[in-house]
Structure 1
Amino acid sequence: MGAHNARHDPAGTRERRPIHQAKPGVSSSYARTVCADVRSVLSAAVDDELLIRNPCSAKSVRAPKADSSRVVPWTPVQVLGVRAALEERYRATVDVGAGCGLCQGEVFGLAEGALDFEGQTLHVVRQIKHVEGKPVFALPKCEKERDVPLPDSVAGALKAHMGICKPVEVTLPWGTPEGPKVTARLLFTNPGGGIVWRSNFNAHDWEPALGSASDTGQGLSRIWKPLEFLNSALAGRGPGNPRVTPDGGVLGGMRGR
């Protein structure tokens, strides 16, 4: 971090920000995440008296703008087409993504203990993130646990999945690579019993499935987001508003924890 009480340099921060935004393949959401992480690290440096001020807090330094492009959700027919094209051990990820609105990291961090079949509720309490290239368990998106309705269609798909692919105990550090070890019985693992690496899954399973489903999924986005947005786009997003599942069923609004 340099010398004690090093001079803060907002001008240098401003110069570096456009480089991240201009780099090909870097989304605005990822750039905003990087910006938030850098701000957090520099705030810790201020607390440790290694910096006088946080340069990211200067008025002249602005975070990357959020992507204003509209996410177009898939139709149920498109969702089912992609699901059918996936390897059997990964098909239920589509049910959870479309039926419960989980992001990819939350799906791969989903554990057996999160399922309340009697209460028709899914407890979203963790996701798998990658910090410094290493996988860790962390809080779900928005840094907050939440409960979401578990419709019969998704519950049935998960029960069938667990009948074929038993949950596997996986231990990862929490929050950072140096964090405390946490063990969870994950529903989705790779054929070797380890975590599903998103980069491998997207390259070797997800994108080929999109290609195979091209007849029903013309122009499908290469990302997971339209799947996650399927329910919220088909109905209101506020508490109590219904959401539509891939098979046409209706479920209630999201409940925060």
Structure 2
Amino acid sequence: MKVIPSIDLLGGKVVRLFQGDYDKVTVYFDDPLLALDMIVSKGARHIHIVDLDGARKMPRNSKDQNDQNDEVRSTNFEMIKQMVERFGAVLDFQVGGGIRSIKDVERLLDIGVDKIVIGSLIFTDYVMYQEIIKHYGEKVVLALDVKEGKIKRNGWLIDTNFTIDELIASDKIGKVYALMSTDITVDGALTGPNLEMMRKLQRTHYRWIASGGVTSRKDLEALSQLGIYGAILGKSIFEGLIDQLSDM
């Protein structure tokens, strides 16, 4: 199983949100390059980067808010570019947050990002989602973030009224590299992953990446025993609970 550390970028800094709440932010590193240095030193071979500013971008009619948000997103993009340039030889990069067009996808792939993480787009612009999957499906990880059984979108701020089972049954997903599921209720809580949810999801024909709640190597071993393809972890690294980030 792939062990995939996560770095969340907000205003160019490495942060963690508690259960997706933008008002509950902990800053761990002012310089994301220092965070990656630490992660690589622990044996990591993969990295998951989330542009939180992009993920919560306001609707297009909120022009002033969007202009400010786009400026921050540009800062995050330049930082991601630096991270890939410095660590691309030793880390596989998957990046998500605010990807809404073919241009966004190609911009990241052009700087050396290996996988693109898309979530909200399947609900907000299905035509564009299909276009991206048509051209780059083998590069796409579809992120499905769940709270109380329902998928949330736009940085966990908006309900979709879909369950994962309903989305899979709709045949809308198409051919993607993998699916990633986050249980928002355990994310950042250091209470352990939702093993029951992942056990059920693993029975489908998709390759699954688990996210949320991983606190120890024991948690990683439990997910690996389920046959899960990969596991994402963040706060447990920055809190010093997991020192070994090699694959299982």
TM-score, with structure 2 as normaliser: 0.28
Higher strand share: 2
Select the structure of larger CA radius of gyration. 1
TM-score, with structure 1 as normaliser: 0.27
